[in-house]
Structure 1
Amino acid sequence: MQKSIKVLIVDDHQMFLDGLSSILVGDEQVEVVGVLTDARAVIDTLKDAPVDVVVTDVSMPHMDGIQLNAELKKRNIQAKVLVLTTHNDPDIIQKLIKGGVDGYLLKNAEKNELLTAIKTVATGGKHFSQEVQKKYTESLFSSATTSSTVQTALSKREKEILHLIVEEFTAQEIAEKLFISQHTVNTHRKNLLSKLGVKNTAGLVKQTILKGLLK
């Protein structure tokens, strides 16, 4: 007899927990071994009763799905994490994918896709709904386009100065290195702040790293 997939469901809405549990009970390959309304209780629960898949929402009080996924991965807990949520925000999707989440579905998914996702991640695969994949791809394209546009907008001299700012050179040191006046350096710095939409040097460094402007 095939071993059933043990599932723990985490969501702060009891009605959703009840509904999802009743859906999964109908599949002989899936066994719901527990439901939790507080993600903080997951770690201790898994110590006593390990599961194959944790199905979790994103927005929850105290600890959200992003934090839960990160905590499970950090502790090398073997349970796979399948996010089931109403959120299709690209930033959330990116954070979870970068965090190594095993699957991501929206709550409007059909029963068959949900069961397929659980079985896929339980056996070491990945499952992301088509809508989630589309949102993620679009966000990557948008980010790359923005980065390319900013790079094109920066002059050669601005890129040189930006590189030195990131390397923590002072305005005076940059002026001496590039054989220009400190006033000229400050003018370029103001232009960089404006083009990157930030207020200070820390913002310049952050945006340079995020947008990969010095690659």
Structure 2
Amino acid sequence: MTEVPEPKLRVFLADDHPLVLDGIRSLLKDDPGLEIVGEARDGRAALRMTIELKPDVIVLDLSMPGMNGVDVTRRLRCECPACKVIILTVHEDRSYFRKLIEVGAVGYVLKRSVSDDLRRAIHSVAEGGIYLDPAIAGKAIDGLVNRPGEAADPGVDLSEREIEVLRLAALGYSNKELATRLTLSVKSVETYKARGMDKLGFHSRVQLVGYAVAEGWLKDV
């Protein structure tokens, strides 16, 4: 029986700098699991075309003419809720991240980090995760997690495998990427992740990333 190939993730790109668009396009075209379905160079066009094309993921520059990334993200949350928004920016201030999370963004990638990180971010958010650029994870998460009643039990006992899986999950690796990297089945990865999250009492990746930062798991990556 001939195997049916998995459908490609449909990606829309929005940035007002042609050279940046060219660079992102060149980076993503080598990923057989991605298809670029459209591009825009201003916020209003990005909003209109995303609503029309309904991509799985939009990679959106924060500083766009006509309508900025925050406003585009806010509108897409209402008008195209299935589309996952990844913000591409030069800004490392956590205040930007907080605002974008509030309006519905699920990914935050620094322009200086655009490489395999962007591909990983696209696959991660498409699977329902949240992706934070490791370079800003500490600043971005500070104040958003481990608030009263949300901190992990200091006596929690995680196995080495659970730590390994949770650390990579915090970095934005999808379950499939984790399975390949650790030579495990996807089911085993899901089990280790669920068990570790249950021990920590966490219910979201935002909480997990905050814990990973506090534990030093994201250093030297």
1:25 alignment counterpart: 29
8 Å Cα contact 1:84-1:106 kept in structure 2: yes
> Which residue of the other structure, out of 45, 48, 59, is the alignment partner of 1:44?
48
Superposition deviation, residue 2 in structure 1: 1.1
8 Å Cα contact 2:54-2:80 kept in structure 1: no
1:210 alignment counterpart: none
CA–CA separation in structure 2 for the residues paired with 1:45 and 1:110: 24
CA–CA separation in structure 1 for the residues paired with 2:15 and 2:124: 21
1:71 alignment counterpart: 75
Superposition deviation, residue 110 in structure 1: 4.8
Q: Where does the alignment leave 5 or more consecutive residues of structure 1 unmatched?
A: 145-215
Would you say 1:5 and 2:9 are equivalent positions?
yes
Superposition deviation, residue 77 in structure 1: 3.0
> Which segment is superposed worse, 98-107 or 45-54?
45-54
1:21-67 alpha-carbon deviations (Å, 9 max, x no partner): 01100110011111110110123313432210000111111111111
CA–CA separation in structure 2 for the residues paired with 1:47 and 1:56: 14
Q: CA 1:17/1:59 → structure 2, altered by over 3 Å: closer, same or farther? A: same
CA–CA separation in structure 2 for the residues paired with 1:100 and 1:46: 15
Q: Where does the alignment leave 5 or more consecutive residues of structure 2 unmatched?
A: 149-221
1:130 alignment counterpart: 134
8 Å Cα contact 2:39-2:46 kept in structure 1: no
Find the structure with the greater CA-based Rg. 1
8 Å Cα contact 1:90-1:139 kept in structure 2: no
CA–CA separation in structure 2 for the residues paired with 1:71 and 1:78: 12
TM-score of the aligned structures, taking structure 2 as reference length: 0.60
1:105 alignment counterpart: 109
1:117 alignment counterpart: 121
CA–CA separation in structure 2 for the residues paired with 1:90 and 1:60: 19
Letter in 1 for 2:117: E
1:56 alignment counterpart: 60
Quote the sequence identity (%): 35
Q: Please show how residues 176-215 of structure 1 align to structure 2 within 5 Å.
A: none
Q: Comparing both structures, which one devotes a greater share of its residues to helix?
A: 1
TM-score of the aligned structures, taking structure 1 as reference length: 0.61
8 Å Cα contact 2:51-2:76 kept in structure 1: no
Letter in 1 for 2:37: V
Count the aligned residue pairs: 143
